[in-house]
Amino acid sequence: MKVVLFCGGLGMRMREDAASAPKPMAMIGDRPLLWHVMRYYAHFGHTEFVLCLGYGAAAVKDYFLRYDETISNDFTLTMGVRDVHLFSSDITNWNITFIDTGLHATIGERLMRIREHVEDDPYFLANYADTLTDAPLPQMIERFRDSTATASLLAVPVQSTHHVIDIDGHDQVSRVRPIRDLMQWENGGYFILRPEIFAELRTGEDLVPHALERLLPQRRLIAQRYTGFWRAADTFKDRAELEQLYRSGRCPWMLWDSNRHGVTAGAGSAAIHEVGQ
């Protein structure tokens, strides 16, 4: 099953200056965010990728053209650098298509521009290139297959650490509580889509909310709630937290690595619950 990844945004909240690498290329350990997302899908056998490029396209292309398997795999070196025997590999069986989808295109427009690469498939996967999770992908796909929906998304609890306040008629605060206590859900990406989604896309609009909103009257959008590990690397603080998890060896999203796939509070044991159709 093909995996479409949106890699072309400017990522202004992550950038240090105009020459900064694109957000999906921010490093977590020895590999960029994009690699971690791709490795998650590959863990479940989905190794055919379509990368929607824009800002920083050259950096993404160069990274894979110069990819060094020895960075994240054990190996034996003999005869100097002339003979390297890898004990395992990351991307040997990956098929990666690089498509320039424009510098300022919306995600919906990027999806429109790679239509020819996925429209003949019964369904395909799509995601942002900077969100990590340990959600059970096979279970998500099975639920989607059994539905009549055009699109499915991962719904996760609101990630904000801020608090909301209740105020009475005299401007007195009557309650302070974390936003997460409201049990609102946010779009966590990890989309599963049927080609019918292309009929809902428009130039100048986005996948979320515009195209997905058009699916609501016919109940063709489902959300799969997940309360386990999910993180978006939107800011330097987010990336620093992911880096700290990596350094501590507690990386719930690294399902492919038994040495680093630790468990954090609330992670790893949550089930997917389907909402609406």
DSSP 237-258: HHHHHHHHHHHHT--TT-TT-T
In this predicted structure, the answer to whether residue 266 has a pLDDT above a threshold of 50 is: no
The predicted pLDDT at position 276 comes to 46
Q: What are the structure tokens assigned to 64, written together?
A: 């894979």
The predicted pLDDT at position 84 comes to 83
Q: What is the mean pLDDT of residues 33-60?
A: 97
Identify the band that residue 189 occupies on the pLDDT scale cut at 50, 70 and 90: very high
pLDDT tens track for 32-41 = 999 999 999 9
Closest CA relative to residue 205, chosen from 116, 107, 87: 107
Amino acid in position 178 = P
The predicted pLDDT at position 70 comes to 83
Query: Cβ neighbours of residue 146 under 8 Å, at least 6 residues apart?
Result: none
Query: Cβ neighbours of residue 162 under 8 Å, at least 6 residues apart?
Result: 178, 179
Q: What is the mean pLDDT of residues 238-259?
A: 93
pLDDT tens track for 148-175 = 999 999 999 987 767 888 898 888 888 8
Please give the Cα distance from 22 to 7 (Å, whole number).
Answer: 8
pTM: 0.87
SS3 272: coil
Long-range contacts of 40-45 (CB under 8 A, 24+ apart): 40/132, 40/133, 40/137, 40/253, 40/255, 40/256, 41/3, 41/125, 41/137, 42/90, 42/91, 42/94, 42/256, 43/255, 43/256, 44/137, 44/138
Q: How far apart are the two ends of the chain, measured CA to CA in Å? A: 23
Q: What are the structure tokens assigned to 252, written together?
A: 């719930």
Identify the band that residue 264 occupies on the pLDDT scale cut at 50, 70 and 90: very low
SS3 216: coil
The predicted pLDDT at position 168 comes to 86
pLDDT tens track for 190-239 = 999 999 999 999 999 999 999 999 999 999 999 999 999 999 998 889 99
SS3 92: coil
Separation in Å, CA 14 to CA 81, 106, 150, 181, 209: 37, 18, 32, 28, 23
Q: What are the structure tokens assigned to 244, written together?
A: 């700290």
pLDDT tens track for 85-143 = 888 888 889 999 999 999 999 999 999 999 999 999 999 999 999 999 999 999 999 99
The predicted pLDDT at position 28 comes to 95
The predicted pLDDT at position 34 comes to 97
Identify the band that residue 267 occupies on the pLDDT scale cut at 50, 70 and 90: very low
